[in-house]
């Protein structure tokens, strides 16, 4: 049955998901920790070796999950704090010299709301690559950042991975940051959680159409993944609801959930808001000393 | 528990939903029949008296449900056939003289995909009220049709019902056709089913914000409702899945589904397609001898 | 020829437009003045009597024009200052007791960019009418504000004026504020100028489809108009360019400009920005002590 | 002054534009002809040598202009005829073996209406590259077609030309078809004319931001350009209006037209319609024996 579980979050991998009350740190091959920073919960899962990879079903590397639920409570200044937190965590994964250039890839389909996180995040990106030479007096000291929405296989006929690899070879960034929608198994996490990792990403996994991986091996440069869960697979939800009830269930009973997703009622607005947060957090990570107002003005 | 069941379809009311294999015709106060027309399944539930009202939780009247799943199999000419079927059924509910004018109300929120059926259907409506006087040589023989998207309480501060009642008093149509999104309890029905009824509608019930009723009592003219289920309430789905498994469940276990909806993955496209079908079916019902091409040309 | 001149701005009426270097104050039936407030130019034209009406082709009343070009220079805090200025001028025209309720009408067609000012301004409106009763502890002290986008005759079959009059009779506001796109004859004013007046408005005049007037006579309550020029009529522009060159021209030479409009290249963004400003300015005029951040939070 | 004239249409180059009543065929280095096909006017300008290049300001090659004004008269079947005509002319420029694969590049900015022709045409493209292997039983005999919207420099930081060249090297199509918006000097041509050429294209010239050329030299494969004029430069229009009046004008008088464009009032709808026609015409050119209904069904 567990093969039917769909989640892209490391912290939701079966052993971590079920062991919440106990001590996940004791799992072999994994190192986990949880802390509160700037008022938000930050969980880190490090997959250390093959045992860890087997346990969470993800490659070796660091997975940082920010829980931004506080945003919803509209606490004073929480948007700015969340952007700053995202920027700090991104910098900790990127650790690049100031001068290096970055390509941000917005994965997913702009026309399908729960899949539009990547494109909308890129809409909120301060793109500077062309300005450094055109307006050196203003932008000469900015990092070179470019953005690319590669579309989806169904409408381009080309894998996202092929397009990004091709452009990467041309533009030669020092690293790629890939933004995508994810699947979660917890409805409370939808549009409220951001997972960062230094292991790259498989585009489209959030909406069930897994494609070629984007990672250091395929692109030749480090790939930082930034993902936001926007859907819960309906069959996964039903499975978890039933398990939580202490009941047994067999797989065939969930067939009717195939192809269905669970979203918040106000998914359109939620996706827009969290994608803007991603874009602003990226800007703060990639350029120094920016305020929210600076970004507003640049993008307006 | 059944108070947690959310559905706007008469054929999904508890006694009919559970009795499928048996003979629903035998339920007191109800008359049900099912037939196949133009290749589609057509179910009619007539609520005859108070016993029927209690059984299905809906007012006396006729509820016709068209199952348009065949559309998805892309059968030859199926779009045109479905429009023609919808037009025939609408005419059977309207039975109005040719000359009478009609107001079509598109209920719901255009910016929330599963709630946008009404507004998009009105986008596909041939509006003629202003053309009959402006271009009498072309449109003098057309029925007078006008369309109104009343928005939603959260963005206007005014109940849809208040706006439509006010405009109705001004425009004085012979009848109102109200188009809205509904909730179903069967995921297979999402964006594939149309329910027509002669009993009016409560706007927003599909997305869980029930408002003032639109019916002959509140508007002073007959109100035909045209509804399309676009969401399944997550808690309802879980309840039904578990019941189908022969298990018992108590209400509190479903709390985590609150505020969540289940939709098809490609809801944006599905809503656009079924809403166009509604608009075209309305046009064929309201004006004589129109082909799909005629409507294409009018709307282009 | 002057019958071919299309402008909705009082300050662009022929005698004021041509007399710029001289003293417009001396025109009989008009009182004009210009001042700088909060860094923006504010021109007021008062049409005092029939002589003034004949001179500017507009009914008696006050026409205040704010030139917000400074916004484009992205001066520190200029958005907030412009909103505050707009709010002050609106209050001077409204002079209503705190308790009175307001209906804001967003005129025009959301799907035609230069005509979308009204609907987008209403998107940025803090609508409170329904919240005062639903959440009295938070909104009990707010003014009751509702918003209505009436659509356009071509897609509804109903005049905007009919819809607004009908809803007005139902909702009974103390005043109506009608927001619409206008035509200017100066390209520099496009999307940078706001005209306020206490004389009502004729919907659609900006895009050349004049309709029933919205004013105290037709609605029974005072009507404040808020207009933004988004287009210059191509024939008007050509006429003015040629006149400015000291050349003579006759009307027939401009026929090829019929049905064409001149807009800034980035009209989509410009319309979005100025419409947001209108919405925020309305919010500050209608509710006390709001900051930009308060409005951001309410609308988010 | 002529340096201020902005047009991307070969038939509007100064000598051809002014010599209309005379015999353009006699211009050295050019061969021109005009015929009527399927009810539409088709003009061909062949630039034969350096003298022709100097005269029209465009590289050697064939420029075919289809005048599709008849579409607007809504003649019976005119959409299908226009698609078929476009397909025939495209095939005459492409003359490729059946098996060869094609990359269609949609140039321009989807968010700026008059610049959105390329992206919307690609929305209407039957993309098959990924289907030939995934569904060989259905699509094995289709030509391999892929589509790419490269975005614009201002939002990606990367030249369209760089992106397309990079992807081209990866995908290795036999030819590229580049679709873009153009500038015209005749308002009657806006959204009614299509220019095809076998000489490639400079992206963005239509909206005044010329970039790296896309042609056989830069991409390594033949590049067919498909362009639609959507704007007239305001200064160009004024210049032509004045010239047509037999008046003299000097350049400085037109400064106020800088950055302004002239469009039809209903530009949004016009761009959508002509872009759909481009997409459908491309489909008919690239795949055999398709009807409008076949394309409707594929894209739905």
In DSSP notation, A282-297 reads: HHHHHSSS--HHHHHH
| Predicted confidence band of residue A267 (pLDDT cuts 50, 70, 90) | confident
Q: In sequence order, what DSSP letters do the residues of chain D get, joined into one string? A: -GGG-----GGGSHHHHHTTTS-GGGSTTEEEEEEEETTEEEEEEEE-SHHHHHHHTS-SEEEEEEE-GGGGGT-TTHHHHHHHHHHHHHHHHH---TT--EEEEE-S-TTSGGG-HHHHHHHT----HHHHHHSHHHHTTS--EEEEE---HHHHSS-HHHHHHHHHHHH--SEEEEEEEEEES-GGGTTTEEEEESS-B-TTGGGT-----BSHHHHSS-EEEEEEEEEEEHHHHHHHHHHHTT----GGGGGGGTTEEEEETTHHHHHHHHHHHHHHHHHHHHSSS--HHHHHHHH-
Q: Which of D234, D263, D264 sits opposite C237 (nearest CB)?
A: D234
Q: Taking the mean position of all CA atoms in its chain, how far away is CA D154?
A: 22
Which chain B residue lies closest to C156 (C-alpha atoms)?
B147
Q: Which of A74, A273, A300 sits opposite C273 (nearest CB)?
A: A300
SS3 of residue A260 by DSSP: strand
The answer to whether B241 contacts A257, with C-beta atoms less than 8 Å apart, is yes
Above 80 in pLDDT, residue C74? no
- Report how far apart, in Å, the C-alpha atoms of D21 and of each of A55, D7, D16 are: 80, 20, 10
Rounded to two decimals, what is the model's pTM?
Answer: 0.86
For the stretch B13-30, pLDDT in tens is: 888 877 654 455 578 899
Q: Do A265 and B261 touch (CB under 8 A)?
A: yes
The b/e string for C127-158 (b: 16+ C-beta within 10 A; e otherwise) is: bbbbbbeeeeeebeebbbbbbbbbbbbebbbb
Place of tokens 């919907």: C203
Tokens of A289: 């000393």
Question: Of A81, A88, A100, A84, nearest to A64 (Cα)?
Answer: A88
- CB-CB: which of D127, D158, D165 is closest to A129? D158
Main-chain phi, psi angles of D195, to 5 degrees: -110, 125
Of the candidates B87, B290, B51, which has an alpha carbon nearest to the alpha carbon of residue B196?
B87
Tokens 């929480």: give the residue: A78
Q: Is the dihedral of CA D155, D160, D162, D163 positive or negative?
A: positive
How far is Cα D172 from Cα D166, in angstroms, rounded to an integer? 10
Rg (CA), chain D: 19
Q: Are strands A145-149 and A260-264 parallel, antiparallel or unpaired?
A: unpaired
User: Does residue C118 contact residue C149 with C-beta atoms inside 8 Å?
Assistant: yes
CB contact C169 to B (< 8 Å):
yes
Neighbours of chain D (3+ CB pairs under 8 A): A, B, C
Q: What is the mean pLDDT of residues A273-284?
A: 96
Classify each residue of A22-42 as buried b or exposed e, where b means 16 or more C-beta atoms within 10 Å of its C-beta: eebeebebbebeeeeebebeb
- A255 close to B (CB below 8 A): no
Rounded CA gap, A61 and A259, in Å?
Answer: 31
Q: Do D166 and A170 touch (CB under 8 A)?
A: yes
Dist. CA C215–CA C202, nearest whole Å: 8
Report the pLDDT averaged over residues B254-273: 78
By three-state DSSP, how is residue B199 classified?
A: coil
Cα torsion angle, A88, A90, A93, A96, sign:
negative
* Residue A151 sits at the chain D interface (C-beta within 8 Å): yes
Tell me if residue B221 falls in helix, strand or coil: coil
| Cα(B110)–Cα(C108) distance, integer angstroms | 17
Number of neighbours of residue B97 by Cβ within 10 angstroms:
7
For residues D16-35, one letter each, b for 16 or more C-beta atoms within 10 angstroms of the residue's C-beta and e for the rest, the string is bbeeeeeebeebebbebeee
Q: How confident is the model at residue A258 (pLDDT cuts 50, 70, 90)?
A: low
Please give the Cα distance from D166 to C227 (Å, whole number): 47
Q: Which chains touch B (3 or more CB pairs under 8 A)?
A: A, C, D
Q: Does C73 touch chain A (CB under 8 A)?
A: no
How many Cβ atoms are within 10 Å of A4's Cβ, its own excluded? Answer: 15
pLDDT for position D6: 80
pLDDT for the residue numbered A109: 93
Tell me if chain A has a CB within 8 Å of the CB of B141: no
pLDDT tens, residue by residue, A137-192:
888 889 999 999 999 999 999 999 999 999 999 999 999 999 999 999 888 899 99
Q: Longest Cα pair distance anywhere in chain D, in angstroms?
A: 67
pLDDT bucket at C258, cuts 50 / 70 / 90: low
Q: Give yes or no for D143 touching A (CB within 8 A).
A: no
- For residue B41 the two structure tokens come to 């399944």
What mean pLDDT, rounded, does chain C reach?
Answer: 87
Task: Spell out the alpha helix ranges (H) of A157-262.
Answer: 160-171, 216-219, 234-244
β-sheet bridge partners, residue B62? B46
What are the φ and ψ backbone dihedral angles of C275, each rounded to 5 degrees?
A: -70, -35
Residue B300 tokens, joined: 């282009």
Mean pLDDT of C213-232: 94
Is B162 close to C166, i.e. CB distance below 8 A? no
**Dist. CA C148–CA B80, nearest whole Å:** 35
Chain B residues lying within 8 Å of C154, measured CB to CB: 127, 130
Whole-angstrom distance, CA of residue A214 vs CA of residue A160: 9
Asked whether the predicted pLDDT for residue B293 surpasses 80, the reply is yes
Per-residue confidence (pLDDT) for residue A251, from 0 to 100 = 54
Contact between chains at A297 and C74 (C-beta distance less than 8 A)? yes
Backbone angles phi, psi at C61, to 5 degrees: 150, -170
DSSP assignment, residue A199? Answer: S
| Predicted pLDDT at C216 | 94
> Residues B202, B29: contact at Cβ < 8 Å?
no
Instruction: Summarize pLDDT for A22-79 with one digit per residue, the tens.
Output: 455 578 899 999 999 999 999 999 999 999 999 888 999 999 999 998 776 666 688 9
Helix (H) or strand (E) holding C197: strand C193-197
Angle between helices C267-286 and C292-299 in degrees, nearest 10: 110
Taking chain D (300 residues) in runs of 10, the rounded mean pLDDT of each run is: 70 78 68 93 95 91 92 75 96 85 96 93 96 88 94 93 96 97 91 95 64 90 96 81 68 60 85 96 95 88
Average pLDDT estimate for B151-172? 95
Q: Is D23 on the interface with C (CB under 8 A)?
A: no
Q: How many CB atoms lie within 10 A of CB D131?
A: 20
Residues near D213 by beta carbon (within 8 Å), at least 6 away in sequence: D161, D200, D201, D202
Q: Does A282 touch chain D (CB under 8 A)?
A: no
Chain centroid, CA A171 distance in Å: 23
A-D C-beta contacts closer than 8 Å:
82
**Of B148, B153, B170, which has the smallest distance from its Cβ to C156's Cβ?**
B148
Using CA atoms, how far apart are residues A190 and A140, in angstroms rounded to an integer?
Answer: 39
Q: Is A263 on the interface with B (CB under 8 A)?
A: yes
Three-point CA angle B215, B40, B245, nearest 5°? 85
Q: Do the Cβ atoms of A263 and B268 come within 8 Å?
A: no
In this model, does residue B172 exceed pLDDT 50? Answer: yes
Residue B173 sits at φ, ψ, to 5 deg, of: -75, 160
**What is the pLDDT at residue C171?**
95
What's the CA gap between A252 and A46, in Å, rounded? 34
pLDDT of residue A72: 65
Question: Does residue D90 contact residue D78 with C-beta atoms inside 8 Å?
Answer: no
Q: Does B273 touch chain D (CB under 8 A)?
A: yes
Q: Is pLDDT above 70 for C22?
A: no
pLDDT at residue number B21: 45
Among A244, A264, A268, the residue with its CB nearest the CB of B111 is: A268
- Stretch among B146-155, B254-263, C151-160, D96-105 having the lowest mean pLDDT: B254-263
User: Distance between CA atoms of D45 and D17, rounded to whole angstroms?
Assistant: 12
Residues C37-72 have pLDDT tens digits of: 999 999 999 999 999 999 888 999 999 999 998 776
Mean per-residue pLDDT, B34-52? 94
Q: Does C271 touch chain D (CB under 8 A)?
A: no
Alpha carbon distance A270, A230 (integer Å): 9
Portion of chain C with pLDDT greater than 90, in percent:
58
Task: Tell me which chain A residue has its CA closest to the CA of residue B242.
Answer: A242
Beta-ladder partners of B41: B36, B67
Distance in Å, alpha carbon of A197 to nearest chain D alpha carbon:
24
Give CA angle at B34 (B32, B35), nearest 5°. 145
Q: Provide the pLDDT for residue D254.
A: 58
Three-state DSSP at A215 gives: coil
Predicted local distance difference test score (pLDDT) of residue C21: 45
Chain A, nearest residue to C297 by Cα: A74
| Long-range contacts at B245-254 (CB < 8 A, ≥ 24 apart) | B245/A242, B245/A247, B245/A249, B245/A253, B247/A242, B247/A247, B249/A245, B249/B1, B250/B1, B251/B1, B251/B4, B253/A241, B253/A244, B253/A245, B254/A241, B254/B4
Cβ partners under 8 Å of residue A11, min gap 6: A17, A32, A43, A45, A63, A65, A195
A149 φ/ψ angles, rounded to the nearest 5 degrees: -105, 115
Beta-strand relationship, C175-184 and C193-197: unpaired
Inform me whether the C-beta atom of residue A130 falls under 8 Å from chain D C-beta atoms.
yes
In chain A, which ranges are E strands? Answer: 30-37, 40-47, 61-67, 102-106, 145-149, 175-184, 193-197, 223-233, 260-264
């Amino acid at each position: 049955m567990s093969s039917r579980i769909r989640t892209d979050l490391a912290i939701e991998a079966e052993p971590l998901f079920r062991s919440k009350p106990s001590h996940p740190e004791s799992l072999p091959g994994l190192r986990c920790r949880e802390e509160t920073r700037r008022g938000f919960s930050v969980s880190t899962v490090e997959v250390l070796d093959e045992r860890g990879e087997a346990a969470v079903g993800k490659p070796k590397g660091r997975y940082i999950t920010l829980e931004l639920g506080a945003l919803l409570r509209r606490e004073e200044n929480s948007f700015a704090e969340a952007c700053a937190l995202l920027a700090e965590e991104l910098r900790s994964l990127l650790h690049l010299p100031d001068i290096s250039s970055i390509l941000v890839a917005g994965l997913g389909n702009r026309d399908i709301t729960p899949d539009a996180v990547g494109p909308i995040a890129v809409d909120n990106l301060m793109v500077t690559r062309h300005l450094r030479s055109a307006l050196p007096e203003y932008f000469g000291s900015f990092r070179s950042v470019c953005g690319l929405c590669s579309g989806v296989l169904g409408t381009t006929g080309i894998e996202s991975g092929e397009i990004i690899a091709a452009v990467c070879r041309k533009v030669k960034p020092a690293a790629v940051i890939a933004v995508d929608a994810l699947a979660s198994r917890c409805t409370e996490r939808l549009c409220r959680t951001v997972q960062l990792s230094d292991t790259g990403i498989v585009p489209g996994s959030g909406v069930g159409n897994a494609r070629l991986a984007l990672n250091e091996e395929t692109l030749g440069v480090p790939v930082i993944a930034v993902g936001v869960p926007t859907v819960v697979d309906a069959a996964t939800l039903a499975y978890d609801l039933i398990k939580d009830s202490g009941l047994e269930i067999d797989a065939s009973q969930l067939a009717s959930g195939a192809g269905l997703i669970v979203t918040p009622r106000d998914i359109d607005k939620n996706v827009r808001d969290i994608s803007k947060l991603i874009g602003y957090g990226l800007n703060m990570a990639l350029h120094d000393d920016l305020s929210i107002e600076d970004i507003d003005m640049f993008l307006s």
